[in-house]
Chains A and B, each alone.
Chain A
């Protein structure tokens, strides 16, 4: 038995004490933006409601918009009411809001940074946060480098500093390298938390549980048994007024470079030796390094034209506000990728992502090889499709396994049926939003679910190579109607291999 004379607190044993972060201030650059309103503040409220934030905690919003502390609090309160997953409770809000401040900041003006530092120091004194800071960069990539320098120059002697950096991290390999270099001059890699919010999703983490907590899957999780993998990240919405960003990014930078490649990495990675940040990220980097650049025939890009989404008549991409009439920005990408290692050699990973597709859906489908010789009479197995393990990342989070089953009655007729595990069916707790988990992890200094600099660089190297050969041709855009599953060329990508996209 532990005794009181021991240094450790014997009363803590057996208590389900969740680690609570050190006292700190969260500084949000870009506090007037959509991300703060729709994701960050509702996530902070949910953490507060569950007593997961530090007892001594403050929030400092910083943005160009002129706003008083009270106006900022009022706007954030409305944001929590509009976008929070929890019922709004005044006492929870009051506790969070009393440590909330706002500072108007012109990112190009040094004096603004000095004012921000003074506000921070005053808040630090008031809240007892011991100089610990988490800086959340919810700003365009072009602004991050300067802000990082400013933060480093004004760093106090006390406490720790952590940087949470939103995607996209850079615009290409060169800019990502430059930003990484700027950061590394001033901060350790362990201080940097590059967010890809997909990694904060419960179902993405469940992929790790599915693979590495179940002995039945890993032995068949390889080229011997898997015919191919299909990953779909589909959105039914358009660009939602973000033409300025999207015209520069396109689907390849918006989704492929980050979310999509993370899903490939998690699907294909080897078992890590433990669940520490470096062990997990080492394995993901190995996958990215093993992916060779797909040739031009293995990548399809598309842009949506006018069409109908859920019965509503919608405009084409080029008709969206702020989009150039002759824009060549892709809103859809499909590709056939290969991971060249012992486990996956010659096993295609077909991926597709895009906007204004038929429905919102993110899935990973593992299609297994067919049974070698179904011993049934002619026609008996006509309705039988290959086994598919389907991971529903969103919506309807869960896992389905398609298996063949005998149709009741005379004869031996086989039909494919689904065995479903719905996440919400077995665990009726509401799933936490990805940002709740990620903000908390960053405060705790746990980088497992964040992207490391070498991952980012491998991702951009692949994207740059694809974009380079796109410069050589000019496809006929638009090439798919809104509300469909993308251009015909995406179907041909699989048909050439005798395969097809999953039926929806």
Chain B
């Protein structure tokens, strides 16, 4: 990663959207001061992350790792519904050197206190960059059918979740997730993390065609998604057993370990970054989720 050239920031409590826009403009102006050539404000998307306090730190780390690769306006929304009504903001401009210029993106951290956490769409809407896609990362288990999620689904182009973060309730929440498929494009980090294993399993065709038992040494989510994928692609029932691990470490097919896929697993920023490069609906994933939900 290139070194951050300039990082300027501003914080405020009980702020308004107009104030945020005004301060952002000031920061942009200040970041270019003294440069021979103006910095470029480059955006390829608006990237929104919904991170309840317990996810805030991880969300910030991931965003830091990918800010350079996806110059964008990033909104980090931290809901604190139990606190007094209000919005606190921390705004920053992060610039990265490229030749004799600098590419700048904007990060808007908003703490939504009290009732402000109930209607996030009304806060996000005026901050979206026109005409660019909106990617929305929801940390943890989304409150399916709740107002805050429903509003956001209405204004985004892609919802990114990580069903690894959904605890022990799996596969139940997959049925609710599937209800969103016709309303927005959905990505799942847990699914993305199985990609190199899926490539490996695909390379075992046609020997894998008759597999009936799957044992996954990995997370619950990865087990359910891989089983759902194989069932939906191969068209027959497959029994699943999950040997729970923190990450996907192996797969047994009918009791025989599959070979290990080549290469190293990608880091969290790389995985999210790859998902942000995707725009089209993933029908294979949707079929895997539906199949997982039926179990």
B99 at the interface (CB under 8 A from A): yes
Q: Please tell me if the beta carbons of B287 and A1 are within 8 angstroms of each other in the complex.
A: yes
A156 at the interface (CB under 8 A from B): no
Q: Please tell me if the beta carbons of B195 and A396 are within 8 angstroms of each other in the complex.
A: no
B246 at the interface (CB under 8 A from A): no
The listed residue (B44, B229, B232, B284) touching A426 by CB distance below 8 A is: B44
The listed residue (A12, A16, A51, A425) touching B98 by CB distance below 8 A is: A425
A86 at the interface (CB under 8 A from B): no
Whole-angstrom distance between the Cβ of A401 and the nearest chain B Cβ: 13
Closest A residue, CB atoms, query B1: A428
Say which size band chain A's interface belongs to. Answer: 20 to 34
Most buried by B among A10, A16, A17, A420: A10
Interface residue stretch chosen among B25-33, B109-117, B203-211 = B203-211
Compute how far the CA of A428 lies from the CA of B71 in the bound complex, rounded to whole angstroms: 8
Interface residue stretch chosen among B53-61, B74-82, B148-156, B233-241 = B233-241
Compute how far the CA of A4 lies from the CA of B204 in the bound complex, rounded to whole angstroms: 13
Known contacts: A396-B99, A422-B98. The answer to whether A428 contacts B70 by CB under 8 A is yes
Q: Please tell me if the beta carbons of B282 and A14 are within 8 angstroms of each other in the complex.
A: yes
Question: Which parts of B19-76 form the interface with A (CB within 8 Å)?
Answer: 40, 42, 44, 68-71
Known contacts: A51-B263, A422-B40. The answer to whether A1 contacts B235 by CB under 8 A is yes
Closest B residue, CB atoms, query A50: B263
Compute how far the CA of A1 lies from the CA of B195 in the bound complex, rounded to whole angstroms: 20
Q: Please tell me if the beta carbons of A425 and B71 are within 8 angstroms of each other in the complex.
A: yes
Closest B residue, CB atoms, query A429: B69
Most buried by A among B42, B103, B208, B236: B42
Closest A residue, CB atoms, query B97: A424
Known contacts: A3-B235, A429-B69. The answer to whether A424 contacts B205 by CB under 8 A is no
Taking CB atoms, residues of chain A closer than 8 Å to B285 are: 14
Known contacts: A420-B40, A422-B103. The answer to whether A11 contacts B69 by CB under 8 A is no
B283 at the interface (CB under 8 A from A): yes
Taking CB atoms, residues of chain A closer than 8 Å to B103 are: 422, 424-425, 428
Q: Please tell me if the beta carbons of A51 and B262 are within 8 angstroms of each other in the complex.
A: yes
Could you mark each residue 415-434 of chain A with 1 if its beta carbon is under 8 Å from any beta carbon of chain B, else 0? 00000101011101100000
Compute how far the CA of A426 lies from the CA of B43 in the bound complex, rounded to whole angstroms: 7
B193 at the interface (CB under 8 A from A): no
> How many residues of chain B get a CB closer than 8 Å to chain A's CBs?
37
A15 at the interface (CB under 8 A from B): yes
Question: Which parts of A240-275 form the interface with B (CB within 8 Å)?
Answer: none
A-B contact count (CB 8 A): 79
Whole-angstrom distance between the Cβ of A96 and the nearest chain B Cβ: 13
The listed residue (A13, A16, A426, A428) touching B233 by CB distance below 8 A is: A13
Could you mark each residue 77-116 of chain B with 1 if its beta carbon is under 8 Å from any beta carbon of chain A, else 0? 0000000000000000000101111010000000000000
Compute how far the CA of A428 lies from the CA of B98 in the bound complex, rounded to whole angstroms: 10
Known contacts: A51-B262, A422-B98, A429-B69. The answer to whether A11 contacts B233 by CB under 8 A is yes
Compute how far the CA of A17 lies from the CA of B229 in the bound complex, rounded to whole angstroms: 16
Known contacts: A16-B195, A425-B98. The answer to whether A10 contacts B42 by CB under 8 A is no
Compute how far the CA of A420 lies from the CA of B100 in the bound complex, rounded to whole angstroms: 13
Could you mark each residue 229-273 of chain B with 1 if its beta carbon is under 8 Å from any beta carbon of chain A, else 0? 110111110000000000000000000000000110000000000
Q: Please tell me if the beta carbons of B70 and A10 are within 8 angstroms of each other in the complex.
A: no
Q: Please tell me if the beta carbons of B284 and A14 are within 8 angstroms of each other in the complex.
A: yes
Taking CB atoms, residues of chain A closer than 8 Å to B210 are: 4
Closest B residue, CB atoms, query A8: B205
The listed residue (A10, A17, A422) touching B101 by CB distance below 8 A is: A422
A214 at the interface (CB under 8 A from B): no
B202 at the interface (CB under 8 A from A): yes
Taking CB atoms, residues of chain A closer than 8 Å to B232 are: 1
Q: Please tell me if the beta carbons of A2 and B233 are within 8 angstroms of each other in the complex.
A: yes
Compute how far the CA of A15 lies from the CA of B202 in the bound complex, rounded to whole angstroms: 9
A215 at the interface (CB under 8 A from B): no
Known contacts: A422-B42, A424-B103, A426-B42. The answer to whether A10 contacts B233 by CB under 8 A is yes
The listed residue (A4, A13, A15) touching B235 by CB distance below 8 A is: A4
Compute how far the CA of A1 lies from the CA of B286 in the bound complex, rounded to whole angstroms: 12
Taking CB atoms, residues of chain B closer than 8 Å to A90 are: none
Closest A residue, CB atoms, query B208: A11
The listed residue (A4, A17, A395, A420) touching B234 by CB distance below 8 A is: A4
Closest A residue, CB atoms, query B262: A51
A471 at the interface (CB under 8 A from B): no
Known contacts: A1-B287, A2-B233, A424-B103. The answer to whether A11 contacts B68 by CB under 8 A is no
Would you list the 9 A-B pairs with minimal beta carbon distance, nearest first? A14-B284, A11-B202, A425-B103, A9-B205, A425-B42, A428-B69, A3-B235, A10-B233, A4-B209
Question: 28 A–B contact pairs at CB < 8 A?
Answer: A1-B232, A1-B233, A4-B209, A5-B235, A10-B205, A11-B201, A11-B202, A11-B205, A11-B208, A11-B230, A12-B202, A12-B205, A13-B233, A14-B282, A15-B199, A15-B202, A15-B284, A16-B195, A420-B40, A420-B101, A422-B42, A422-B101, A422-B103, A425-B42, A425-B101, A426-B71, A428-B71, A428-B96
If A11-B233, A13-B233, A396-B99 are given as contacts, then 10 extra A-B residue pairs at C-beta distance below 8 Å, sorted by A number, are A3-B235, A11-B198, A14-B283, A16-B195, A17-B199, A51-B263, A420-B101, A422-B103, A425-B40, A428-B71
